[in-house]
Structure 1
Amino acid sequence: MRSDLFAQELQEVEGPGNFVKQNSKMMKIELSQGTVKALQGSMVAYQGNVNFEHQGAGGVGKWLKQKVTGEGLPIMRMTGTGEIFLAKNGMDVHVIELENDSISCNGANILAYSDTLQDDIQLVRGAGMMSGGLFNTTLTGTGQVAIVTDGTPILLNAGEAPTFVDPDAAVCWSAGLQINLKADIGMKALFGRTSGEEFQLAFNGQGFVIVQPSENMRFGGAQDAGQQVQQQSPLGGLGNLLR
């Protein structure tokens, strides 16, 4: 039998590591012991004896955060022995190695992560008040993280110059960066004549920001800037509970 489907570049890629990119759109988790957490529905194939279980929020506090903020993912726990292939809507896959580090990720861009990492939903300090509540998933510790981007991303060094990013295009960043929300709402915004760029995240300090070339509309996507703030402000007094 002959076909370009049997070409070497389409065959399974072996290690090193537990998270192994197969191509730009798919990754493999080599599971031999322990647990790996992944986005529910992201498994496209597996070989071996693998169990898939729904991952709860992890206590009342985390459940409340997920329900109130809308951040966080439906997560499954994968245990057993085998190889699991993951993908999400044909998006580009990237693997990050954390070595006693901490990163802040848009939950919509997380594909999988090691069970050794601690996860939490946190208010993005400096951007929470004016935006009505901007929340990300923080991953801390030593392990691997697989993220997806809608297109090929770029990595910006926030320490080189003042860095501003559309909240919908920001994928993840160094957790130690200082963040503020830059808002430019004038009379034009009140009358519906806006550029669509009324809000940007301002990053300061030493660290990186990963930016994808599309907007996933997490921040509301409303044309009217005043509407945008209202739609993103459901928390009221609950905001203080999530700090």
Structure 2
Amino acid sequence: MSRFSINEFIKNTEQIDKGEGFFELETPRILEVNLEQMVWAKAGSMIAYNGKIKFEREGLLEHGIGTMFKKAFTGEGTSLMKATGQGKLYLADKGKKIIILHLQNEAIYVNGNDLLAFEPSIQHDIKLMRKIAGMMAGGLFNVRCEGTGLVAITSHYEPLTLRVSPGKPIITDPNATIAWSGNLTPEFQTDISFKTFLGRGSGESIQMRFEGDGFVIVQPFEEVYMQVQTT
């Protein structure tokens, strides 16, 4: 019965330094940040830490008046916190799988719900998807991350990356779309026939169409967003 002992459990689950640097996957669903100065993280994602770390919500005016208006419009969906100090910080988001990306003077758009953390060297800006603002609140914004550094994003289960090439557009469900390359700008379209088939408005009736040369990342899960009541 030793395999069920407390000592065996601790041995199998305890934190181990892997020496991977600033971001380290402690488990597929827990991100360790080896903090020396500062990191941006999704508000509410801290599950544990050691050392001396201070947490502060992103200020409304921190990135200018334009960002303040965007935040007022998008609400809490993409609220960020700034963690400063020294120590080990552990982040997670509803048990979702974590993917670490190293941007090298590149840009990527990430759905506001799926951005977990990024280095301070990465510039970020909230982008509104105005065309579906009246259809779904949770999925109408994304965050553009640009520069050189690490970005951690999340996915329900295993993600799939689809290549977008000229003449071969990719169409996705906004509720299942995690991220896409920074040079792509999705268009939104409504599948009237599918909407009629269902007999009511639904997530699938709204689609994102990606054209050009790049990639889009989707997850095998549809986030359920709050529906906006329009007048």
Alpha-carbon distance between aligned partners in 2 of 1:203 and 1:172, rounded to the nearest angstrom: 12
Q: What do residues 129-172 of structure 1 show as CA deviations (whole Å, max 9, x unaligned)?
A: 36648321111111111111111111111128321110010001
Q: Equivalent residues in 2 for 1:1-243 (5 A)?
A: 3-7=7-11, 10-33=14-37, 35-57=38-60, 58=62, 59-70=64-75, 73-124=78-129, 128-129=130-131, 132=134, 134-159=140-165, 161-186=168-193, 189=196, 192=199, 197-218=204-225, 220=227, 231=228
Structure 1: which 5+ residue stretches go unaligned?
221-230, 235-243
CA gap 1:205/1:78 in 2 versus in 1, 3 angstroms: same
Task: Give the deviation of 1:74 after TM superposition.
Answer: 2.1
How many residue pairs get aligned? The number is 220
1:41-66 deviation per Cα after TM superposition (whole angstroms, max 9, x unaligned): 21111111111122213232212111
Percent identity, aligned pairs only, is 37
Contact 2:173/2:203 (<8 A) preserved: no
**Secondary structure of 2:84 counterpart:** strand
Distance 1:87 1:196 in 2: 26
Shift of 1:116: 1.3
- The answer on whether the counterparts of 2:128 and 2:142 sit within 8 Å (CA) in structure 1 is yes
Q: Structure 1's 158 and 71: CA in aligned 2 closer, same or farther, altered over 3 A?
A: farther
The one-letter code of the counterpart of 2:146 is T
The answer to whether the 8 Å contact 2:195/2:202 transfers is no
SS of 2:175's equivalent?
coil
- Distance verdict in 2 for CA 1:209–1:13, change over 3 Å: farther
TM-score using structure 2 length? 0.83
Distance 2:88 2:104 in 1: 24
Q: Secondary structure at the match of 1:22?
A: strand
Aligned partner letter, 1:120: D
* More displaced stretch, 141-150 vs 58-67: 58-67
Shift of 1:3: 3.3
In structure 1, distance between residues paired with 2:206 and 2:193? 12
**Partner Cα separation in structure 1 for residue 56 and residue 76 of structure 2:** 20
What's the CA shift for 1:95? 0.7
**1:178 to partner: Cα distance:** 3.7
Deviations 1:25-78 (A, max 9, x none): 101001113x10111221111111111122213232212111123475222111
Q: C-alpha root-mean-square deviation of aligned residues, in Å?
A: 2.7
TM-score (norm 1): 0.80
Long gaps (5+) in structure 2: none
